[in-house]
Structure 1
C-alpha cells in the first residue's frame, strides 16, 4: 500500500463537534425560512374598462351545481358539466363562470352548449345569463379558458348534416368579449380554421 505524499489534515476527520455545528446551522436555516415567508400570491387581471361599479371584495365564481341549464335531455338523461372556467367577464368586479355542458348520453358524442353563469350580489343561486354555443349547432368544445376578461374556446363542428357525428370535419378557434351589454364573437389573432 502506497502512502500519500500529502500529510493528513486534522479537519478532514469528522468529530462530534462537526455534527453539532452542522445540525445547528441547518436548524438556523429552517427557523429563519419559517419566519421569512413570502406574502400571499396575488394575481391581477389586465385593467378592465371602468364601468362606474366599485369592485367587491374577493367574490367567488358561481358554482354549476343546481343550475337549470337550457338543455333538452329527455326524462332520464341529465345535463353533465364537462369543462368550466371563471373570470370577471363584464368588469363589475364579480367573477362569472363559463360552463361547457351536454346531455350525459350513454352512447355517442352529444353536442355541447356553452353557458355563462352569474350570481347576483348576496344571492346563493347562480343562473344562466348568456348562451355562447347552442347544442342545436352540433358543436363540441375541446378547450375552454377565460383570459383577460375574454372567453376562448376551440370548437369542432360539421360542414353539413351528411357528416357523421363521430367525425367532425371543422375546427374553429373562437373568442367572446363582453361589449355593449352583450358577448361579441370573433376569431382570436393567430387562429386558423380548417
Structure 2
C-alpha cells in the first residue's frame, strides 16, 4: 500500500475548473443577497442636493510666496471644517525648497473656489514667511488649528540653527481666526 499511487490526491485541470466554477457561483449569489434594510448611499448631500466638495488641494493654489527660481514645497497640511459652515477647509504649511538650512514657513487657510472650475483660494494667512518661523507640527482637532514652530531669538543666530520654540493655536471666532499661544508641551503633537 505504501507504494500505491493515490490518484485521488493529484489535482487535475478539471478539478480546478470545478472549484473555480463553484466559487464563482457562491460570490455571484452573495452579491444578489442583501439584508432587507440595506440601502445604497452616495456622497450626495441629501439636504442640499449637492455633492460635498473635497478638501482644497494645496498643489492647485497660488500662494503669496515668492521663491524666485526655487519651487514651493507643501510641507504639512490638514483638513477639516474650520469655520462651522459645513465645508472643508485645508490648512497648508509651505516654504521655498532648499537643500540646506531651514527656510521660513508660511501657514495658510485654503477654501474651495467661489467659482466652479477655478483653483482653491487662500482665505487667511496664519503665519507669513516674513515671521521667520519654521513649522514642526501642524494638527487640526475639533475645528482648532495647532502648530509648533522653531524660530530665532535674534538676527545673529545662523539660519541653520533655530534656537526658539513656539506653539500657536487658531480658532474661528467672530468671523476670523483668533490666535493664542499654547504652553510648549501642548503643541508638540505630530501632524
Q: Of 51, 61, 77, which aligns to 2:55?
A: 61
Please show how residues 155-174 of structure 1 align to structure 2 within 5 Å: 155-174=149-168
Residue aligned with 2:60, SS = coil
Given candidates 167, 173, 191, the residue that maps to 2:186 is 191
Instruction: Report if aligned partners of 2:77, 2:91 keep a CA contact under 8 Å in 1.
Output: yes
Match of 1:3 in 2: none
2:76 aligned with 1:83, yes or no?
Answer: yes
**Quick one: which of 111, 115, 121 aligns to 2:108?**
115
Report the TM-score when normalising by structure 1: 0.66
Q: Which residue of 2 aligns with 1:178?
A: 172
Render the CA deviation track for 1:120-140: whole Å, top value 9, x for unaligned.
Answer: 466242011111011011100
Given that 2:100 and 2:160 are in contact with CA atoms closer than 8 Å, whether structure 1 keeps it comes out as no
- The aligned runs of 1:142-161 (5 Å cut-off) are 142-161=136-155
SS at match of 1:65: helix
* 1-structure distance, mates of 2:101, 2:162: 13
Root mean square deviation, CA, Å: 3.1
Q: How high is the TM-score relative to the length of structure 2?
A: 0.67
Runs of 4+ in structure 1 deviating by more than 3 angstroms, as ranges, are 34-37, 188-193
* Count of residues in correspondence between the two structures: 150
Q: CA deviation at 1:108?
A: 2.2
Q: Which runs of 5+ in 2 are unaligned?
A: 1-26, 40-47
1-side partners of 2:57 and 2:71: how far apart? 17
- C-alpha displacement of 1:81: 0.6
